[in-house]
Structure 1
Amino acid sequence: MSNNIQNAKALINTFVTGDTQLARELLAQNYIQHNQAYATGADAFIAAVEGLAQAPVQTTVQTIRAFEDGDKVFLHNLYNFAGSGDQVAFDIFRFNEDGKIAEHWDNLDVLAEANPSGRTQIDGVTEGTSSDREATRALVTNFVQDILHGKNMEKLNSYFNQGKYLQHNTGIADDLSGLGAALAELADAGLAMVYDKTYQVLAQDDFALAVSEGEFAGRHVAFYDLFRVENGFIAEHWDVIQDIADQAANDNGKF
Structure 2
Amino acid sequence: MKNLRIFGAALIAAATLATSASGETAKPAKKVILQQYELTQKNKTIVLQAYQELFGDHDLTALDRYWAANYIQHNPTMTDGRDAVKQLLEKMGVSHWPKQKVDFKRVIAEGDLVMTQVVQPKFGDSPETVIVDIFRVENGKIAEHWDVMQPVPADAVNKRSMY
TM over 0.5: yes
Listed one character per residue, the Cα deviations across residues 177-216 of structure 1 (whole Å, up to 9, x for unaligned) are 111222233339xx9xx88522111101100111011147
Distance 1:178 1:186 in 2: 12
Q: Secondary structure at the match of 1:165?
A: strand
Structure 1 residues 16-95: aligned runs within 5 Å: none
Higher strand share: 1
Distance 1:153 1:228 in 2: 20
Q: Does 1:210 align with 2:120?
A: no
User: Which of 42, 48, 51 is matched with 1:144 structurally?
Assistant: 51
* 1:241, distance to aligned residue in structure 2 (A): 0.7
Contact 2:55 2:102 in 1 (8 A): no
Please tell me whether Structure 1 or Structure 2 has the larger radius of gyration of its CA atoms.
2
Q: Does 1:240 align with 2:144?
A: no
Contact 1:147 1:155 in 2 (8 A): yes
- Mark the CA change 1:152 to 1:186 in structure 2 (over 3 Å): closer, same or farther: closer
Distance 2:52 2:147 in 1: 17
Distance 1:203 1:172 in 2: 24
Distance 2:71 2:93 in 1: 22
Percent identical across equivalent pairs? 25
Listed one character per residue, the Cα deviations across residues 63-114 of structure 1 (whole Å, up to 9, x for unaligned) are xxxxxxx6xxxxxxxxxxxxxxxxxxxxxxxxxxxxxxxxxxxxxxxxxxxx
Distance 2:102 2:154 in 1: 18
Any unmatched runs of 5+ in structure 1?
A: 1-69, 71-129
Q: Does 1:171 align with 2:77?
A: yes
Distance 2:64 2:49 in 1: 13
* 1:175, distance to aligned residue in structure 2 (A): 0.9
Stretches (4+) displaced over 6 A: none
User: TM-score scaled by structure 2?
Assistant: 0.64
Aligned residues: 124
Higher helix share: 2
Q: Secondary structure at the match of 1:166?
A: strand
For the aligned residue pairs, the C-alpha RMSD in angstroms reads 3.0
Contact 2:63 2:86 in 1 (8 A): no
Q: Secondary structure at the match of 2:79?
A: coil
Instruction: Name the structure 2 match of 1:230.
Output: 138
- Mark the CA change 1:150 to 1:231 in structure 2 (over 3 Å): closer, same or farther: same
Contact 1:228 1:237 in 2 (8 A): yes
Contact 1:165 1:236 in 2 (8 A): yes
- Mark the CA change 1:173 to 1:140 in structure 2 (over 3 Å): closer, same or farther: same
Instruction: Name the structure 1 match of 2:64.
Output: 157
Any unmatched runs of 5+ in structure 2?
A: 1-6, 8-35
